[in-house]
Amino acid sequence: MTAPDAPLTGPLTGDVMADVCIVGGGYTGLSAALHLAKNGIRAVVLEARDVGFGGAGRNVGLVNAGMWVMPDELPKVLGPVYGDRLLKLLGDAPAAVFDIVKTYNIPCELRTEGTLHCAVGQAGLDELKAREAQWQARGAPVRLLSADETKTMVGSSAYSAALLDQRAGTIQPLAYVRGLAKAALSEGAMIHTDSAVTRVEAGTGRWRVMTDAGSVTAGWVVMATDAYAQGPWEVIRREQVHLPYFNCATTPLPEDIRASILPGGQGAWDTKEVLSSFRMDARGRLVFGSVGALKGMGEAIHRDWALRALRRIFPQIGPVGFEAEWYGQIGMTDDNLPRFHRFADRVIAVCGYNGRGIAPGTVMGRTLAEHIAGERPEDALPLPVTAPHEAKMRTVKEVFYEVGAQAVHLTDARF
């Protein structure tokens, strides 16, 4: 464990009053609580398990700008007004994370040297050329590196090019979300863990959000549970397809090997459909991940593949083992874009980050706080109001992703 301890919290007991009740203690919920509390708005966070238990604590740690989809696709799908707003918000999102980390002195291994999106094959190179052109047309500091530059910056000759995004960076994701919780508490927010919401009732101008041992009565409710949603408005989870993703951390590498891999401090991922990601942490461990769940047959398959892939990408690494492993679920929407829902009067949610939770979750939480505070009306939000709907063939796709990742990793880099 390389994250500082979480702040001391406990279950909700009894009945409390608040201006806003936030359900979910991840990036979105805690960012919303922090920004509400800074404005003097009383916010109470209810988290079913622990701070960062869901996607926030199981994250890769890449603080990226934008979404998976190409920049030009956002205005096509959302229209020019919302598309451009969302691009602007998400393009600036890493800077918002960095500012919070520095303002509240959050010890989360922050690196701000950018990220590298690495090209695999001609299709991957073509994708990165298009991304470079579309982001540069919007003034973003991104640049396609040559094969030689990529080899130097990655520490591997496995890739023909890489897109360097200087807006981005890396963090220890669990440390960051725990730091967000401490920051929110320092500003006056309240956080209750082990407090799963069982029921929500409407009152006269207020909502009563209930757990097994207490309730919060508030004027607003923010659902910030994303892919881990349960209980009331579980439709947030059902409108997303779960894509499992795992990470393995090596034992600390020798100093000379450590210096040869990602020497500039960037995090990286590649253009393969079953992608790989990697970053170096403060202890000199290479954190390496890909699609798949570390459970059942997949546990051995994915671990063995990761060891083979590491030796192929970084032959200088030599014999290496893993000292930590974890996995979580990425919530994928039908169009790979986030959603804004208004379930009822003053009951709102943003969800569907599609694997980009750190920076988007942070700025979306801030945006919800601005909306509740009256600083940003609904027609000025970066997403239109949409009704939730169940993802098409959700269960079938989830089985396909998990089994398909096992099939790919069973053979990849073996022969």
Task: For the chain, report the end-to-end CA distance as a whole number of angstroms.
Answer: 34
In a domain, 398, yes or no: yes
In a domain, 323, yes or no: yes
Nearest residue to 88 via CA among 102, 74, 101, 98:
74
In a domain, 154, yes or no: no
The amino acid at residue 361 is G
Most distant CA pair in the chain: distance in Å?
A: 67
* pLDDT recorded at residue 27: 97
Question: How many structural domains comprise the chain?
Answer: 3
Q: Distance between CA 82 and CA 88 in Å, rounded?
A: 10
In a domain, 1, yes or no: no
* pLDDT recorded at residue 413: 54
Nearest residue to 359 via CA among 152, 42, 98:
98
Q: 81-113 in b/e burial notation, b at 16+ Cβ within 10 A?
A: ebbebbbebbbebbbbbbebbeeeebebbbbbb
Looking at the structure, tell me whether residues 380 and 317 fall in a common domain.
no
pLDDT at residue 415 greater than cutoff 80: no
Residue with tokens 């080899």: 151
Task: Give kind and range of the element (H or E) at residue 278.
Answer: strand 276-280
The better pLDDT of the pair 54, 367 is held by 367
DSSP codes, 121-134: HHHHHHHHHHHHHH
In a domain, 153, yes or no: no
Pairing of strands 115-118, 267-270: parallel
Q: 210-249 in b/e burial notation, b at 16+ Cβ within 10 A?
A: bbeebbbbbbbbbbbbbbbbebbbebbbebbbbbbbbbbb
Looking at the structure, tell me whether residues 325 and 408 fall in a common domain.
yes
- Cβ atoms of 31 and 365 within 8 Å: the answer is yes
Structure tokens at 178: 């725990």
The amino acid at residue 260 is S
Looking at the structure, tell me whether residues 399 and 306 fall in a common domain.
yes
CATH number at residue 373: 3.50.50.60
pLDDT at residue 414 greater than cutoff 70: no
Query: What is the band of 1 on the pLDDT scale with cuts at 50, 70, 90?
Result: low
Looking at the structure, tell me whether residues 325 and 363 fall in a common domain.
no
Kindly state the average pLDDT of the residues 98-109. Answer: 98
Kindly state the average pLDDT of the residues 48-58. Answer: 93
pLDDT at residue 349 greater than cutoff 90: yes
Instruction: For residue 101, give every residue at least 6 positions away whose Cβ sits within 8 Å of its Cβ, in sequence order, or none.
Output: 108, 110, 171, 176, 179
The amino acid at residue 302 is H
pLDDT tens per residue, range 67-91: 989 999 999 999 999 999 999 999 9
In a domain, 2, yes or no: no
Looking at the structure, tell me whether residues 188 and 295 fall in a common domain.
no
**Domain containing residue 366:** 7-114+170-240+334-384
Kindly state the average pLDDT of the residues 84-101. Answer: 97
Q: What size, in residues, is the chain? A: 415
Looking at the structure, tell me whether residues 358 and 224 fall in a common domain.
yes
pLDDT at residue 308 greater than cutoff 80: yes
Query: What is the band of 411 on the pLDDT scale with cuts at 50, 70, 90?
Result: confident
Q: Distance between CA 230 and CA 368 in Å, rounded?
A: 21
Query: What is the band of 205 on the pLDDT scale with cuts at 50, 70, 90?
Result: confident
Q: Distance between CA 80 and CA 151 in Å, rounded?
A: 38
- For residue 219, the cross-strand partners are none
* pLDDT recorded at residue 267: 98
Looking at the structure, tell me whether residues 280 and 265 fall in a common domain.
yes
pLDDT at residue 241 greater than cutoff 90: yes
Q: Distance between CA 6 and CA 174 in Å, rounded?
A: 9
Within 13 Å and on the Cβ side, how many CA atoms surround 177?
28
Q: Distance between CA 274 and CA 265 in Å, rounded?
A: 24
User: How much is the pTM?
Assistant: 0.96
> What is the residue-averaged pLDDT of the chain?
95
Planar angle of CA 286, 288, 289, nearest 5 degrees: 160
* pLDDT recorded at residue 204: 85
Kindly state the average pLDDT of the residues 254-271. Answer: 97
Q: Distance between CA 287 and CA 403 in Å, rounded?
A: 23
In a domain, 266, yes or no: yes
Looking at the structure, tell me whether residues 298 and 223 fall in a common domain.
no
What region does 66 belong to: left with phi over 0, alpha with psi -120 to 50, or beta?
left
Q: Distance between CA 383 and CA 340 in Å, rounded?
A: 6
pLDDT at residue 256 greater than cutoff 80: yes
pLDDT tens per residue, range 386-407: 999 999 999 999 888 899 999 9
Of 166, 195, 227, which marks where a domain is finished? 166
Looking at the structure, tell me whether residues 289 and 256 fall in a common domain.
yes
* pLDDT recorded at residue 155: 98
- Cβ atoms of 137 and 75 within 8 Å: the answer is no
Within 13 Å and on the Cβ side, how many CA atoms surround 131?
27
Nearest residue to 155 via CA among 315, 371, 332:
315
Looking at the structure, tell me whether residues 181 and 93 fall in a common domain.
yes
Pairing of strands 43-46, 276-280: unpaired
Looking at the structure, tell me whether residues 249 and 288 fall in a common domain.
yes
DSSP codes, 47-59: -SSSTTTTTTTT-
* pLDDT recorded at residue 34: 98
In a domain, 297, yes or no: yes
Looking at the structure, tell me whether residues 108 and 124 fall in a common domain.
no
Structure tokens at 313: 């990408």
Q: Distance between CA 50 and CA 329 in Å, rounded?
A: 16
pLDDT tens per residue, range 122-176: 999 999 999 999 999 999 999 999 999 999 999 999 999 999 999 999 999 999 9
